[in-house]
Chain A
Amino acid sequence: MLTVQALESGYGAMQVLWHPELEIEKGSITSLLGPNGAGKSTLLETILGSVRPWGGQVLYENRDITFLSSHRKVEMGLALVPEGKHLFPNMTVYENLLMGAYLKKAYEHREESLDIVYTLFPRLKERSRQMAGLLSGGEQQMTTIGRALMTKPRLMMLDEPSQGLAPKLAAEVFETIEKLKSDIGLTILLVEQNADASLGAADYAYIMHEGKIKASGTPDEIKASREIREAFLGV
């Protein structure tokens, strides 16, 4: 569904991505692991185009989308749940969700999308009139995922969705992600610090380090490899 080839990008003169390669199967959860500063967020942002690619290729559903602008990619069904949430703090939960349905096609389907979001997160329905800035951390994360769902995506990239959440809430986030795959049929690219939980949910995993993909395999293969765990995951 998504193929990344020899991607390059960075900030200013500093190159961060050094030709990572990955392949994401339709209907799967792919986990992307790696230490702080490995370039995981940069990779997701470069795929979406909020960080400008310098070179290489991103193929989405067999189309070259490398240099398309972000809003075109969102329109094509690519969604990003960014690190650090990026909600609209002075809008209500409902208004935040509706902003996700900004583009024409998503707007036409806003009622069904809203149903899907409220079924997945009944809590958000109760909180719909509350300002997003006043939500608890867990509720904010639900709203961010909900807002991304409102864009009617086919591929959702999540950047550390369990960050800063208590273990119980983090576990709920992972359950939600599995539901996005099984109930809604989304393809998922998941970036996480929490290697165990992430591997538990994933069908396939990539290990990133210093802007490159250093290893990949099924979760069982990764867990079984002492070398990978010690070198890149610190566990």
Chain B
Amino acid sequence: MFLEQLSGNLVQGVVLGSVYGMATMGLSLIFGVLKVVNVGHGAFVMVGAFVALFFFNTLGLNPIFAIPAAFAVGIALGLTFYYAAIRKLLHAPELATLLATFSAGVLLEETIKMIFGSEFRGYNWDVGNIDLVFTALPMSKILAALGSVLIAVLLYVWFKRTRAGSAMRSVVEDSQGARVCGINVDGVYAMSFALGIGLTVASGVLLTMFIPVGINPYMGGGYTLKAFVIAVLGGLSSPYGAFFGGLVFGLIENTSYTVFALIPGVEPFALTRFLSFLILLIILLIRPTGIIKAK
């Protein structure tokens, strides 16, 4: 009985974890290329959730179509935000970009609140369940996980095989070196920032598969915190590291939930969250560069 539950949670952990991983790739990409910490990360995730909601409830469309739409919205937001603020702040002290991304998050939250209101909403995309021997999983979650893996693979191929991807890698390794190769470093910054925000907003669509009634303008905060734990697990500046960090985090979250539920008198949900941040603290103390070596 316990083992069955545990293996069920392992599977659910991997499913949730791959979505968490994908939802952190944008954060790591932006940090890796620009050394900017996007404190407003969760608000961009929230925008993606609202794109999904809009597609499903207002347009009556399959949330799968919301993924490319959210990605496009993210690219547009990212470019606007980059040229309006980030670009001018890259050489300023770090606090400047922290404040800018924080305020962008607040701005997005309040804008969405004005348009859609602040109550909790959700949608139910019912595409059936998959029955494994030890657990049943909604098909929508499986699709979200597969979508996440697909996006991660596409990003990897794009990075390794395209000209723009190689320009981006070279800027990550040495921006002055990239410049003397004739690479438009400012252009790469703009592109990376837009791509990072695009991925983040798109991930918001995928995450809605896990929160049936949790869509709200202020839902982002928890994701910002989780994304930081995951990014640190994955080594901060590598999107692939972030993806594997997400898997590890999903597993820990799900497994510990099961284990804590067995202890009488313990509130498993709260304790799971506590454990996540305990992990963050421990990693930062012993291996601040992350535990997973990607590359």
Q: Which residues of A contact B (CB under 8 A)?
A: 48, 50, 69-71, 74-75, 79-82, 85-91, 99-100, 102-103, 106, 147-148, 151
Contact = CB atoms under 8 A, between A and B. Distances in A.
Nearest to B176: A86
A172 B166 CA distance: 32
A167 B50 CA distance: 65
Contact of A106 (B166, B179, B182): B182
Contact of B180 (A80, A91, A106): A80
Contacts of A106: 182
B126 interface: no
B180 to A, nearest CB: 5
Interface string B142-186: 000000000000000000000100110110011011111111111
B176 A71 contact: no
Contacts of A91: 169-170, 173
B272 to A, nearest CB: 36
Contacts of B166: 99, 102
A90 B182 contact: no
Contacts of A79: 180
Contact of B173 (A75, A90, A151): A90
A99 B184 contact: no
Contacts of B295: 90
B41 to A, nearest CB: 26
Q: Give the one of A88, A89, A148, A151 with max B CB within 10 A.
A: A88
Contacts of B163: 102
A82 B176 contact: yes
Contact of B167 (A80, A102, A147): A102
A86 B176 CA distance: 6
A102 B180 contact: no
Contact of A48 (B173, B180, B183): B180
Nearest to A73: B182
Contacts of A147: 177, 180-181
Given A90-B295, A102-B163, A102-B167, A71 B173 contact: no
A131 to B, nearest CB: 10
A234 B205 CA distance: 67
Nearest to A95: B166
B181 A100 contact: yes
Given A50-B179, A90-B173, A99-B177, 17 more contacts: A70-B185, A71-B179, A82-B176, A82-B180, A86-B176, A87-B174, A88-B169, A88-B170, A99-B181, A99-B183, A102-B167, A102-B182, A103-B181, A147-B180, A147-B181, A148-B180, A151-B181
Contacts of A75: 182
Contact of A74 (B176, B180, B186): B180
A86 B174 contact: yes
14 contacts: A50-B176, A69-B184, A71-B179, A74-B181, A80-B180, A86-B174, A86-B177, A87-B174, A88-B173, A91-B170, A99-B166, A99-B181, A102-B163, A102-B182
Contacts of B167: 102
